[in-house]
Amino acid sequence: MLTYFLGPILALFPKRWRKSLFSGLAVAWRPATVISGFAECVAALIALMQWYSYYMTLLVSNGVDSALTGKLPTGVTDHEIGFTALVIWATHPLTWLIAYAGIEGTVRLVNAAFSENNLGILPLFLLDKVFAIMTGGGRREAAAAMGGAQENVSSYFGAVGEKLLVAGLPQVPDEIRPIRNETDEIMEIRACRRKEDWIPPRVVRYQNEFYRLEESSRTGAPRPFLYRLRRLPAGVMGRSVLQYSPEAPVLSRKS
């Protein structure tokens, strides 16, 4: 409930504020930021339409009145008055402010949806940076922010590229390839889609056996996601253990 009602409002704040002030709340920040960014886009669109309707009507009405009373040069047409009003509206600071809010909401929505980068709004972010500089932590945070920004840009484009990659691939069963040698028993799994939460060194249970996820990498189509696991001599089922039960997997041998 908090995620979908209070979460979108709290998602407006910078990450540092959320960690320090709202860490005790059970809020899933990714869906909360998606909703917050979408709401910001919709609110900006509605505000822009209302502002356009009000201001253009006012400008055109004043222009026509000026033309009728002789305050404008002779021969000015309705089209010229309308075009001039449109230029004035487009260059008005409030128009730019509302448009910025729409763009910011789109950026926040896309970042949260594709790269899991849950951004707050820029004014509060800048206020947080000013406060950090005034309290003496500005230089350290600036360096960390620069590194974080580069990482976020890289992860964002990587996530978008992955979405485009899997969009053109068919849904095919996983390919499982056991590899045995004198000391270890390795299992390679190739999948057509990324497996959520499969991050080394998580433990995976498959057919009552336990494996440690050693590494994950990318390979060629039609199964571009490769996972390499090492069999454990024993294991205990727990909440952190990933349960792997593929449907009709393709079994193959290491060539």
Fill in the amino acid letter for 105: G
Query: Both 56 and 179 in a single domain?
Result: no
Share of the chain above pLDDT 90, in %: 33
- Please give the radius of gyration of the chain, using alpha carbons only, rounded to the nearest integer: 28
More confident: 141 or 173: 173
Compute the average pLDDT of residues 47-59.
93
Query: Both 153 and 73 in a single domain?
Result: yes
3-state SS, 123-181, equals HHHHHHHHHHHHCCCHHHHHHHHHHHHHHHHHHHHHHHHHHHHHHCCCCCCCEEEEEEC
Side-chain-side CA neighbours of 24 within 13 Å: the count stands at: 1
Pairing between strand 209-218 and 203-206?
A: antiparallel
Whether residue 170 lies inside any domain: the answer is: no
Query: Both 20 and 135 in a single domain?
Result: yes
Q: Is the peptide bond before 222 cis (omega within 30 degrees of 0)?
A: yes
Query: What local confidence, expressed as pLDDT, does residue 230 receive?
Result: 93
Query: Both 64 and 148 in a single domain?
Result: yes
Whether residue 130 lies inside any domain: the answer is: yes
Query: Both 149 and 100 in a single domain?
Result: yes
Whether residue 169 lies inside any domain: the answer is: no
Query: Both 155 and 51 in a single domain?
Result: yes
3-51 confidence digits (pLDDT tens): 777 888 888 888 878 877 776 777 888 888 899 999 999 999 999 999 9
- Our CA dihedral for 152, 155, 161, 162, rounded to 10 degrees, sits at -140
Q: Which of 117-126, 208-217, 244-253 is most confident?
A: 208-217
Q: Is the peptide bond before 93 cis (omega within 30 degrees of 0)?
A: no
Q: Whose structure tokens read 């950026």?
A: 107
Comparing CA positions, the residue from 225, 233, 227 lying closest to residue 214 is 227
Q: Which of 54-63, 65-74, 230-239, 245-254 is most confident?
A: 54-63
Whether residue 131 lies inside any domain: the answer is: yes
Residues contacting 200, CB < 8 A, separation 6+: 212, 213, 214, 215, 216
Compute the average pLDDT of residues 186-196.
91
Query: Both 145 and 186 in a single domain?
Result: no
Q: What is the pTM of this model?
A: 0.53
Domain span at 107: 2-164
> Pick from 108, 139, 164: which residue ends a domain?
164
Whether residue 22 lies inside any domain: the answer is: yes
Token duo for residue 153:
């840009």
Query: Both 187 and 158 in a single domain?
Result: no
Whether residue 16 lies inside any domain: the answer is: yes
Whether residue 211 lies inside any domain: the answer is: yes
215-235 confidence digits (pLDDT tens): 998 888 889 999 999 999 887
Based on the structure, what is the number of domains in the chain?
Answer: 2
Query: Both 42 and 151 in a single domain?
Result: yes
Query: Both 159 and 61 in a single domain?
Result: yes
Query: Both 45 and 93 in a single domain?
Result: yes
Whether residue 150 lies inside any domain: the answer is: yes
Query: Both 10 and 128 in a single domain?
Result: yes
> Pick from 104, 129, 164: which residue ends a domain?
164
What is the Cα–Cα distance from 229 to 204, expressed in whole angstroms? 8
> Pick from 142, 164, 186: which residue ends a domain?
164
